[in-house]
Amino acid sequence: MQELQQVQNEIVWLVKMWAPRLGELDGEILTEKRNSQNRTVKQIVGHLIDSASNNLHRIIHLQYQQSPLQFPDYANLGVNDTWIAIQNYQAEEWKLLLQFWQYANLHLSHVIGNVNGEALENIWVSALGENITLFDMIVDYPRHLNLHLREISQLLDYEKCGSEIEYGEFDNLARTEEKQHQFYRDKLSYEIDAWDLAEMMKSDADVVVIDARSKEAYEAEHIVTAVSFPHPTMTFASTRGLDPEKTYITYCDGIGCNASTKGALKLAQLSFKVRELLGGMDWWKRDGYQTEGAAPQFDRAVACGCSG
């Protein structure tokens, strides 16, 4: 589910951004400066460890126990500081405490990525009598994590931790990086290269290669087993015979031609699963794969340097 993936990404990003900066801190800045709740940086990090631990237990319990579930609620009972005091985070070695925070959150991200989707509507009853679904609890976790990291940022003078980056810029960097990650994931989902297509054609019967160029171009030369379906002729009526369970790979002449893109768009708009062949016929032939037609190229199977 996309929302849970976003939670995972945000948790990992925050750990990655904050761990090195927090790791540079030492001395009084960790133990003397206090927030509005009279907590030091070490105690705030300790509280975040408690949060990760309690959320981890709730997430696990809500996947196998009967719903609604009444599970000990330390936050709404006002014993947060009791947890902090009993564990004496103030006296804990900073390096170990910081590592614990990192690993607790990275593990929590891993657990969120493996949540049973059928359990997301299971309910936890808080100490205030609120019914909170597993889904809502997971999605709310980064808000609490961000809240206390912002408190730390307000306590810190960034000249002392070797950074002039304001906290708000972390959010912008996170969004930029996630957009870039999503861009490349989309490219791999929507495009395919000659090597991958050739391997897929060997074993996958649910793939259909479509030549989106003109009939004349197809007759002159085309990829072996490809079917001719010029993109201007793709309509709701003309695609009724296509199997919606199959994946369709469109191609054209190459990077100087956009027939494959137009064909892919039309098929996608008609709700078919579709990918576009990178480089079209040009790169298919360059990589040594066979074509047929009036002027075919015979298979000379040049291994792709980016295979795998």
pLDDT at residue 255 is higher than 90: no
pLDDT at residue 50 is higher than 70: yes
Distance CA 176, CA 123 (A): 34
Q: Give whole-number Cα distances, 42 to 14, 76, 81, 89, 277, in Å.
A: 17, 22, 13, 6, 53
| The predicted structure's pLDDT at residue 302 | 54
Range in 36-45, 68-77, 98-107 with the lowest mean pLDDT: 68-77
pLDDT at residue 216 is higher than 70: yes
In the predicted model, what is the mean pLDDT of residues 70-75? Answer: 75
Task: Tell me, letter by letter, the H, E, C secondary structure of 6-55.
Answer: HHHHHHHHHHHHHHHHHHCCCCHHHHCCCCCCCCCHHHHHHHHHHHHHHH
Distance CA 292, CA 222 (A): 6
Query: In which band, very low, low, confident or very high, does the pLDDT at 284 lie, cut at 50, 70 and 90?
Result: very high
| The predicted structure's pLDDT at residue 170 | 53
Range in 145-159, 180-194, 195-209, 283-297 with the lowest mean pLDDT: 145-159
Question: Which residues contact residue 159 at a Cβ distance below 8 angstroms, ignoring those fewer than 6 apart?
Answer: none
Query: In which band, very low, low, confident or very high, does the pLDDT at 182 lie, cut at 50, 70 and 90?
Result: confident
55 or 155: which leads in pLDDT:
55
In the predicted model, what is the mean pLDDT of residues 234-244? Answer: 93
| The predicted structure's pLDDT at residue 165 | 44
Distance CA 11, CA 107 (A): 10
pLDDT at residue 168 is higher than 60: no
| The predicted structure's pLDDT at residue 194 | 93
What six digits make up the tokens of 34? 């206090």
Distance CA 22, CA 38 (A): 19
In the predicted model, what is the mean pLDDT of residues 85-97? Answer: 95
Q: Is 80 helix (H, G, I), strand (E, B) or coil?
A: helix
Which stretches does DSSP call E strand in 40-192? 69-70, 123-125, 131-133, 191-192
Domains of the chain and any CATH numbers = 2-189 (1.20.120.450), 193-292 (3.40.250.10)
Cβ–Cβ under 8 Å, residues 108 and 95:
no
pLDDT at residue 60 is higher than 60: yes
Question: Which residues contact residue 31 at a Cβ distance below 8 angstroms, ignoring those fewer than 6 apart?
Answer: 40, 41, 42, 90
pLDDT at residue 252 is higher than 70: yes
Cβ–Cβ under 8 Å, residues 266 and 260:
no
Cβ–Cβ under 8 Å, residues 252 and 213:
yes
